[in-house]
């Protein structure tokens, strides 16, 4: 029998006050938007910790734990792994996706570091191969920010609300090194362009950004 909602909320609140923003319930990882930067939670030592492998009993629930489990599943079975990031407006889905991409880029080929790796026969000054491949995912993160101008708008609940869905694919080669990425949008709320928004809302950011440029004469 599942615990009552009040008990669940009380537990999540207690973890949140300890800066533990993740809580596991079965196969679902719950995340609470901390509304502040928590960079140490995603720093390189944390990446190495979860990539090295920690038991479920010793590990504090974390997004990187889920990412590592997916990588190991792909490596063992050769089958794709999937993440579904869901939540209400302002819950932090896009930021979660960026941290997920960061983990995949940082661990890409980490177990097969090749000092002095070459591309097209040329030495790379002792840089490891994964460092050369990370920009593929970093570019995907940059694209997310650009798309926000054309797909995000101010609503009564969130000043930077995504009014579209997105689907991303990350490809790995046989050595579990990132080999490419693909991103597409879907379900854009085009109805927002037809009529004027409510007083407390705005249309897509891009319209106001273009207007500001025109007014400034740039």
**Length, in residues, of the chain:** 218
SS3 of 24, please? Answer: strand
DSSP 197: P
pLDDT averaged over consecutive 10-residue blocks of the chain (218 residues)?
76 88 88 86 88 73 92 91 88 87 84 41 33 58 78 86 86 85 82 76 88 80
Strand 118-119 vs strand 122-123: parallel, antiparallel, or unpaired? Answer: antiparallel
The pLDDT of residue 135 is: 64
Task: Give the residue from 163, 41, 151, 55 showing the smallest Cα distance to 102.
Answer: 41
Show Cβ contacts of residue 110 under 8 Å, excluding neighbours closer than 6 positions. 51, 130
The domain limits of the chain are 1-82, 117-218
Helices 93-106/63-77 angle, 10° precision: 50
User: Across the strands, what pairs with 162?
Assistant: 152
């Amino acid at each position: 029998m599942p615990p009552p909602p009040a008990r669940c909320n009380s537990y999540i609140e207690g973890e949140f006050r300890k800066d533990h923003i993740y809580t596991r319930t079965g196969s679902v990882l719950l995340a609470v938007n901390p509304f502040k930067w928590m960079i140490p939670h995603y720093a390189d030592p944390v990446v190495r910790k979860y990539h090295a492998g920690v038991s479920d009993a010793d590990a504090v629930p974390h997004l990187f734990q889920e990412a590592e489990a997916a990588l190991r599943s792909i490596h063992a079975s050769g089958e794709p792994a999937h993440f579904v990031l869901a939540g209400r407006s302002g819950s932090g889905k896009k930021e979660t996706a960026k941290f997920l991409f960061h983990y995949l880029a940082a661990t890409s080929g980490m177990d097969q570091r090749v000092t002095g790796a070459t591309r097209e026969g040329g030495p790379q000054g002792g840089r490891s191969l994964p460092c050369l491949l990370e920009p593929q995912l970093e570019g995907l993160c940059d694209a997310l920010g650009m798309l926000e101008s054309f797909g995000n708008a101010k609503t009564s609940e969130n000043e930077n609300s995504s009014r579209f869905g997105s689907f991303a694919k990350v490809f790995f080669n046989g050595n579990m090194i990132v080999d490419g990425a693909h991103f597409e949008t879907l379900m854009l709320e085009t109805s927002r362009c037809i009529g004027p928004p409510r007083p407390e809302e705005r249309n897509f950011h891009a319209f106001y950004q273009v207007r500001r440029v025109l007014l400034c004469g740039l």
